[in-house]
Chain A
């Protein structure tokens, strides 16, 4: 029986080599300056106003995106459950299949719809409404995020909710619970792990994205992801970039650790 343990060995080696060591590298860069001397500066740089502004905006948009995803996905998961198991193919159709079309391309396609001279705008113009474009606004970025990350909310929610035993619900009904009570007392608590992992899987990428804001924000809007990415790709200040990403990482880990407390078995995250 003990030999089985060894099977996890390659995995352990792999994860240490390619996740733990790289993280140590980030820390090394984050706590040194260009000359290699130790410094706190790159980490404390997060409190500079231009970085705080970006962090706050990212937090706000990520929060908004997560909330919208949750409110869109939850009813959908309930509907899918009510329709029975075979609608699983609907989930695959609608949420997995689009991933085969590149995510940048799909996001870029929103430009074709929403930009000036885009399809929706032209349509509105033809209908006699004013010409307008939401590209370059926070709305556009949230839309792009919701579009890209909604599947990560739907999948875990659907997964958990579809497993709730009809008998439990029926039993509650028989005992006189009304629809709302069934939802509050039975479905909501039982779906909690799914909610938690859905929130994690939407919040983390939307908090750190830079491609979506690049594409739909007309580059007028800097999220913290953009700031970090640009420290690497345009400002060539890797130390500052590393320092900022360390802070961001710790920030995310703390908020998620609080959440994942409710999802001990990782039930929600299974597909």
Chain B
């Protein structure tokens, strides 16, 4: 009996200490929470004009712009990011009012138009719309006839980023990505459309093909290539190339400038066989709850100053001609950053090919890996 009582006492002591630790933990937490949360009342006072819910690619804006917009317009920006178009789409489809403005790519915009997930822009509410270059708007009509829905944000090409100290020969063909000498030195894009674009273009086909025979052929070449590939990556291509972990990488032109500044050995080329030209554009969702504020957000991004500031930060080419006038000539004339007419001529925009075709692409992609 004595033993029992003693054990109980001990247990209580032991437990006391643990409770103390838990309590201390609670205090730590409470202080952190108090430090970072603003009460609802404070929010209303700071942002009298409500909110706007923005869904953008990760690291695809100069965050100071968000601050600036919040202050100038008195609108709170609820900002969230996605990593792929495909990840964004089902979320928005499941809950159309989850975000007010989204920044998908060309083919996804086309898909969203077909699914009635976007609403036409009210251009009267976008006084700075005229800053957009007409050449870009024309190209965008391929997937957004009449430029009704999308406001261009960035544009560029897909090409090969290579390290000039590791690759001596000229890089002008996708064939180099199948060259045995670069075994384990190649980084491929880990997205279905981009990976297949590389293979299809190399074979001389359209990157919007719906011919299963051509896709099969592309799949086989990609599967053969896997042996040489060091990694499939999306945004990591950038850091790996800067770290010289690989000699060749398939990359979006927008990343090139940043890479070159971090590592001057890096160069960018769009192969002769042709490639993809892409546009990322802002759209307002059909379920948007803050349509007015969404337009204000878009117009803010259309101003030359904001677009220029953003270019400086994200280094993706801007279609904003007023901002282009502020950009140094060395960048403007670098075909890696702002592709020239001849390059654009070789490139194709991705089109939305229908859910069935998307599935077929994806099934082939699984077979590659």
Answer whether residue A50 sits at the interface, using C-beta atoms and an 8 A cutoff.
Answer: yes
The segment from B33-41, B158-166, B224-232 found at the interface with A is B224-232
- Give the chain B neighbours of A237 by CB distance below 8 A: 359, 362
Other-chain residue from A50, A136, A220 in contact with B366 (beta carbon distance below 8 A): A50
Least Cβ distance of B238 to chain A in Å? 14
* Known contacts A116-B243, A234-B192, A237-B362; is-contact A50 B367 (Cβ 8 Å): yes
Instruction: For chain A, residues 215 to 271, give those with C-beta under 8 angstroms from any C-beta of chain B.
Output: 218-222, 227, 232-238
- Give the chain B neighbours of A135 by CB distance below 8 A: 231
Other-chain residue from B86, B90, B232, B355 in contact with A219 (beta carbon distance below 8 A): B232
Answer whether residue B342 sits at the interface, using C-beta atoms and an 8 A cutoff.
Answer: no
Other-chain residue from B232, B355, B362, B367 in contact with A234 (beta carbon distance below 8 A): B362
- Per-residue interface assignment for chain A, residues 133 to 169, with 1 indicating a CB less than 8 Å from any chain B CB and 0 otherwise: 0011000000000000000000000000000000000
Which secondary structure dominates where chain A touches chain B?
loop
Are A238 and B90 touching (Cβ within 8 A)? Answer: yes
Are B362 and A233 touching (Cβ within 8 A)? Answer: no
Least Cβ distance of A120 to chain B in Å? 14
* Known contacts A115-B245, A117-B244, A227-B366; is-contact A235 B190 (Cβ 8 Å): no
- Give the chain A neighbours of B192 by CB distance below 8 A: 234
Instruction: For chain B, residues 171 to 200, give those with C-beta under 8 angstroms from any C-beta of chain A.
Output: 190-192
Are A234 and B87 touching (Cβ within 8 A)? Answer: yes
Are A117 and B245 touching (Cβ within 8 A)? Answer: yes
Are A218 and B369 touching (Cβ within 8 A)? Answer: no
Which size class do A's interface residues fall under? Answer: 20 to 34
Answer whether residue B267 sits at the interface, using C-beta atoms and an 8 A cutoff.
Answer: no
Are B90 and A218 touching (Cβ within 8 A)? Answer: no
Are B358 and A235 touching (Cβ within 8 A)? Answer: yes
- Give the chain A neighbours of B231 by CB distance below 8 A: 135-136, 218-220
User: A117 to B231, alpha carbons, bound, how many Å?
Assistant: 15
Are A236 and B232 touching (Cβ within 8 A)? Answer: no
User: A166 to B55, alpha carbons, bound, how many Å?
Assistant: 61
- Give the chain B neighbours of A49 by CB distance below 8 A: 367
- Give the chain A neighbours of B86 by CB distance below 8 A: 233-236
User: A218 to B243, alpha carbons, bound, how many Å?
Assistant: 15
Answer whether residue B233 sits at the interface, using C-beta atoms and an 8 A cutoff.
Answer: yes
Answer whether residue B81 sits at the interface, using C-beta atoms and an 8 A cutoff.
Answer: no
User: A233 to B82, alpha carbons, bound, how many Å?
Assistant: 10
User: A233 to B94, alpha carbons, bound, how many Å?
Assistant: 12
- Give the chain A neighbours of B68 by CB distance below 8 A: none
Which of the listed residues B84, B192, B231, B355 has the most CB atoms from chain A within 10 Å of its own CB?
A: B231
Interface residues of A, Cβ cutoff 8 Å to B: 34, 49-51, 115-117, 135-136, 218-222, 227, 232-238
Interface residues of B, Cβ cutoff 8 Å to A: 84, 86-87, 89-90, 190-192, 226, 229-233, 243-245, 355, 358-359, 362-363, 366-367, 369
